[in-house]
Amino acid sequence: MHYTNPTACSGASEDVLTHNVLPLLHEIRHALGKWLESGDPTVIDLRAIPMAPGEEDELLARLGSGEIHARLSALGDSEIVETAYPGAWLVTHRNTAGEIIGKYIEVCDIPQILKAPQEDVRAGLQRLQTQLG
Amino acid sequence: MARDKTLGEVLRERGISRRGFLKFCAATASLMALPPSTVPAIAAALEKARRPSVIWLSFQECTGCTESLTRAHSTTIEQLIFDTISLDYHHTLQAASGTGAEDARESAMQENWGEYLLVVDGSIPTANPGYSTIAGISNVDMLRETAAGAAAIVSVGSCAAFGGIPQAKPNPTGAVSVSELITDKPIINVPGCPPIPVVITGVLTQFLAFGLPELDHLSRPMAFYGTSIHDRCYRRPFYDRGQFAETFDDEGAKKGWCLYKLGCKGPTTYNACATTKWNEGTSFPIESGHPCLGCSEPDFWDAGGFYQALSIPTGDLPRAAAYGVGGGLLAGAAMGALNRVRKNRAVQAHEKVTIDDLEKERKP
């Protein structure tokens, strides 16, 4: 880890760790098992869990990336990435200013936000009908 | 009438897709520290929310709270919600002035009697009504008049919530908080000097979606003021290990150690700074190397001194002895023992918690 301004950095010392990375990985492990058994999805809000600088990067590095990398453009860009563990997705929401407004691990077959919502389909159908006369 | 549309209808008209709306609801849940499982409920509630009329009154204030609010400008749904809430009256933001503006306020009040949301920033002078007037109307009169028909009142900033800097000794204007004048309406205090921008908009969004939020003993929303800075501070491991910065430029300060000895009020301050942070999540005072001022607590201007450690009573002991006692207490993690009930009582009675109180608590 490299910090250009030690006084401004939060916790340059290596021993300021929350040690939340392993428990989170175990939580994901349990969630994957739960999904296989009962089909119940799990959503973990990463911003609700305190992590020292570098720990979140460590968690994401250990999760890796898989076969799907989706970008959603709605009121800003969002990234939906399947991790190296199918069924465990990393969802990052940004607003129009590019600021992160949400970061989640979703354990499910597909994050809800990727599915086409009924009302959007209805609105699109109307537009298509109009276009086709 | 435009006001009869729901928030959902307004958003759809503006071309916001359901996915965009759901993104916002997820962000709102995250902001309010609600679990992701509540997102569908938030979405359903916001969809159906109707446009309340909002009247914003500014009294003895520095306009910092309005400045803070207008920095919550990510041009996303927050902005739309503000368009949606029909901000019918706001000194700094409105284009009208003079009698035109006052007429607007009066007609908004009449049309929405009993249902409008009153937002107040700034304290109210009572020593002489002439100290602060708007269009010739004293703050006291305008507050009483406008509160009469409000559904609820949101006191934004420490001045409206607790009296703030005008109320600090010697309080020349007889400044009081909103809740000291209005006792028959639900009041939500959103203190801070200023409050974090997204906390202000988050409270208003929460009110829109769910009505009155759960409040603590000082009428602050639990969602944002439920935990102390100390309990969420990333420098807590240093506090726990007794590693403190002694001056602003010593080795400890450079290593980012705990700022308790430099006067940090984190242990007795409840706000979202340590998690939500400032400037769109960039940082907060402690992270930038400055002790917490405790600006979301009552009487923080008179709480001893910004650079005096919490365990040191003001002017009661010679400095050296005070630090000695302070050191001993710290070694015993005294702040952890600071009884919350006692603190609350002390705060409400405007007492200062003294070394004696802390010593008593330490004894088994």
A11 touches B: beta carbon within 8 Å: yes
Q: What is A21-131's CATH superfamily? A: HupH hydrogenase expression protein, C-terminal domain (3.30.1370.140)
As a whole number of angstroms, the distance between CA B308 and CA B318 comes to 13
> Which residue from B16, B36, B238 is facing A104, i.e. has the nearest CB?
B36
Tokens 């409105």 appear where?
Answer: B94
Residue B318 tokens read as 């010679």
pLDDT at B303 (0 to 100): 87
Residue ranges covered by each domain of chain B: 51-224, 229-362
Distances (CA, A) of B315 to B295, B319, B363: 22, 8, 24
| Dihedral sign of CA atoms B215, B193, B46, B1 in order | positive
pLDDT at A13 (0 to 100): 46
Chain A residues in contact with B27 by the CB 8 A cut-off are 93, 95, 101-102
Query: What does the pLDDT look like over A18-77, one tens digit per residue?
Result: 788 999 999 999 999 999 999 999 999 988 787 777 888 999 999 999 999 999 998 889
The Cα of A124 is separated from the nearest Cα of chain B by a number of Å equal to: 10
The Cα of B43 is separated from the nearest Cα of chain A by a number of Å equal to: 13
Q: What is the mean pLDDT of residues A98-111?
A: 91
As a whole number of angstroms, the distance between CA B18 and CA B24 comes to 10
Segment holding B154, helix H or strand E: strand B150-156
Asked whether A70 and B251 are in contact (CB, 8 A), the reply is: no
Q: Do A117 and B18 touch (CB under 8 A)?
A: yes
Q: Determine the 3-state secondary structure of B156 from DSSP.
A: strand
pTM of the shown model: 0.69
**How many residues are listed for chain A in this entry?**
133
pLDDT of residue A81 exceeding 80? yes
As a whole number of angstroms, the distance between CA B245 and CA B238 comes to 10
Asked whether B263 and B338 are in contact (CB, 8 A), the reply is: no
Mode of pairing for the β-strands spanning B137-138 and B187-190: unpaired
The Cα of A47 is separated from the nearest Cα of chain B by a number of Å equal to: 7
Residue A103 tokens read as 């970061």
Mode of pairing for the β-strands spanning B133-134 and B124-125: unpaired
Q: Do B234 and A11 touch (CB under 8 A)?
A: yes
A104 touches B: beta carbon within 8 Å: yes
Fold type of domain B229-362: Cytochrome-c3 Hydrogenase; Chain A, domain 2 (4.10.480)
CATH code linked to domain B51-224 = 3.40.50.700
Query: Interior CA angle at B33 toward B295 and B72, to 5°?
Result: 60
pLDDT of residue A4 exceeding 50? no
> Which residue from B19, B77, B234 is facing A113, i.e. has the nearest CB?
B19
Residue ranges covered by each domain of chain A: 21-131
**Other CB atoms within 10 A of residue B220 CB:** 26
Most B CBs within 10 A among A4, A5, A16, A107, hence the mutation to make, goes to: A16
pLDDT at A5 (0 to 100): 37
Residue B137 tokens read as 């109307």
Segment holding A89, helix H or strand E: strand A88-94
What number is the ipTM of this complex?
0.79
What is the mean pLDDT of each successive set of 10 residues along chain B, which is 364 residues long? 67 83 85 82 82 86 86 56 64 72 82 88 94 92 95 95 95 96 96 91 79 92 92 90 93 94 95 86 90 96 90 48 40 39 53 51 44
A120 touches B: beta carbon within 8 Å: yes
pLDDT at B363 (0 to 100): 43
Q: Do B75 and A95 touch (CB under 8 A)?
A: yes
Residue A119 tokens read as 């009302």
